[in-house]
Structures are given as structure tokens and as C-alpha cells.
Copies of this chain bind each other. A is one copy, B any other.
Amino acid sequence: MKRGPEKQFDPEVALERAMEVFWARGYEAASLSELLAAMGIGKKSLYDTFGNKRSLFLKCLEHYAASSLACLESRLCSEDGKAVLPKIRTLLEEWRKASACSGSKGCMLGNNIADFDTSDPEIAGILQRHLETIEDAFAKALDAAQARGETKLPDSPRNVARAFVCLGQGAALISRVTDCGKATDGAIRAAAKGLMPGR
């Protein structure tokens, strides 16, 4: 029996759409039928291209890291001779705006940390590496800002970077239930002032 041609689809587009579903709903709550509907593909194509739900999720996490996190270092740490503090402030401002949106989805990493049975060492490891990527970019930028005399940090660049990562994760999380954005807005303003005071 001759089979018809396989349905054509763009794996990257499908992955992007699956990522949106996992991001909004979390791993557990995202059902296979929801994923397939969003991706616009059938079960067979899913299994052939992405494996099962778990491996699809892992691919989505990697995709999120590649698209959302990879540009962070180049943005914060590009050696263009320009002041570093404004670069960090611009990024925080974006976080502030994102978390002030009503019905914010939060951060895909953070959502899945909370959602997940973190006894899964492979997924915990991926989430941890992603958090370290953000931390490293901040630490490098804060170190440079201090070396340039733009600020006097209250603690080591590494610890201040860690505070910003915690704060960003907390703000993204809280933005999911607050409707006015005042809480996360004020939090990020206060942290920017206290953790990297301008000179």
C-alpha cells in the first residue's frame, strides 16, 4: 500500500508553539492534545520529530534558553566602551514592564521550577544551568560597571548578580497573580537603587 506524502511542517515553528503552551500552562497541565493543536501536527509527526512529551519539553527549554537567554550576555557585556549601568538598567526596565502586564505568563524557567517534580535530575540540571547563565552575565556586567567607577556595589558582583536573579524570578512569579504591577514595579526600582547605586 502506498502511503500519502508526510505532512510538511516547520519543526522550529512547531517547537516555538509547543514552548508557548508549556510556558503558559506548565509541564504537567499541558495536555498532549493541546500541544498537538497548537503545533498543528499529528501524533506521529510529534513522536517522529520530537519524541515523547518529556523530550519535547526538554527541547522547548533549550529553545527558550537559546532565544531568551543567549542574547543576555552580548547585551550586558559587549565591550563597546559604553557605560554598563544603563545597559543593566534597560534590562531591568524590560523585566519591570513585562512583570507589570496583567496576566503575565511569568518566566518559563521559574514556572517550570515550581511546577516540576524537581527530583528529575536532568530537568533540574538544565534549569540550574540556565539560571547560572543569567547570573554569569549579570556578574560580569556588574564587575565591569564597578571597575569603570560607575557604582560601588554593596557586596561582591557575584552576590549582587545572585540577588538580581532571585529578584527577577520572584517578580516574574508574583506578576502571575497581581493585577496592578505595583508590587513588582516597586521591587525592581528599590533593588536597582540599593544594589547598584549610581555615583
Contacts and interface: CB of A to CB of B under 8 A. Distances in A.
A194 B114 contact: no
A144 interface: no
Given A26-B28, A163-B194, A174 B169 contact: yes
Chain A contact residues: over half helix, strand or loop, or mixed?
helix
A97 to B, nearest CB: 15
A166 B167 contact: yes
Residue with the highest number of chain B CB atoms closer than 10 Å, among A110, A124, A153: A110
B174 A159 contact: no
Nearest to A180: B128
A49 B115 CA distance: 28
Contact of A173 (B119, B135, B170, B185): B170
Given A26-B114, A114-B110, A135-B183, A170 B166 contact: yes
A154 interface: yes
Contacts of A162: 182-187, 190
Contact of A163 (B159, B186, B197): B186
A186 B128 CA distance: 16
Nearest to A126: B177
Residue with the highest number of chain B CB atoms closer than 10 Å, among A131, A159, A179: A159
Interface in A143-176: 153-156, 158-160, 162-163, 165-171, 173-174, 176
Given A131-B174, A166-B188, 17 more contacts: A25-B117, A28-B29, A110-B114, A113-B177, A118-B177, A131-B177, A154-B190, A154-B197, A156-B186, A159-B186, A163-B187, A166-B167, A166-B170, A166-B183, A167-B167, A167-B187, A169-B174
